[in-house]
Amino acid sequence: MADYDRLRATIASLTEGETDSVALMATVACEIHHADTRFDWTGFYRVTAPELLKIGPYQGGHGCLVIPFSRGVCGVAARQAQVQIVDDVEAFPGHIACASSTRSELVLPVFGPGGEVIAVLDIDSDRPGAFDQADADALAAILDDVFRREGVH
């Protein structure tokens, strides 16, 4: 399991003073991706239009380019503004298979300074049941530290 306290401190140090959300996403995706061997694909889908996500900075193989809020685990997380922990992507209705190796998924909404959903963080694993609530809570805290800061745009 990732050392989330260390990861949080590292990301805080690397992102201090930065306000550009894409630069922040690039740094956060890289650090999270390399923090745990369970993380096979780690990246952001940005809200670019009403009810629409487009790929943002990521680590791993190719991701889907566009995801409507009405489809997939990322769409549900964005639409409901709630964390999604999926132990078996094959059992998730409407799952979008961006990579055939994905077995489980953790998707967290990313909130901006005003509390609006600006993106989702999608983490895929090639292992079934790879994620739990402790992962979600630790990663949500990191996302809040970085993206809810005043001035982030």
What does the pLDDT look like over 69-95, one tens digit per residue?
Answer: 999 999 999 999 999 999 998 887 766
Model confidence at 48: pLDDT above 90: yes
DSSP 44-82: EEEEEETTEEEEEEEESS---SEEETTSHHHHHHHHHTS
pLDDT at 90: 80
User: What pLDDT band is residue 98 in, cutting at 50, 70 and 90?
Assistant: confident
pLDDT at 108: 98
Q: Decide: pTM greater than 0.85.
A: yes
To the question of domain 4-147 being in CATH 3.20.20.10, the answer is: no
Q: Are 99 and 130 in contact (CB under 8 A)?
A: no
pLDDT at 78: 97
What does the pLDDT look like over 4-36, one tens digit per residue?
Answer: 999 999 999 999 999 999 999 999 999 999 999
Work out the percent of the chain whose per-residue pLDDT is above 90: 87
Q: Are 106 and 85 in contact (CB under 8 A)?
A: yes
DSSP 89: G
pLDDT at 89: 82
pLDDT at 99: 67
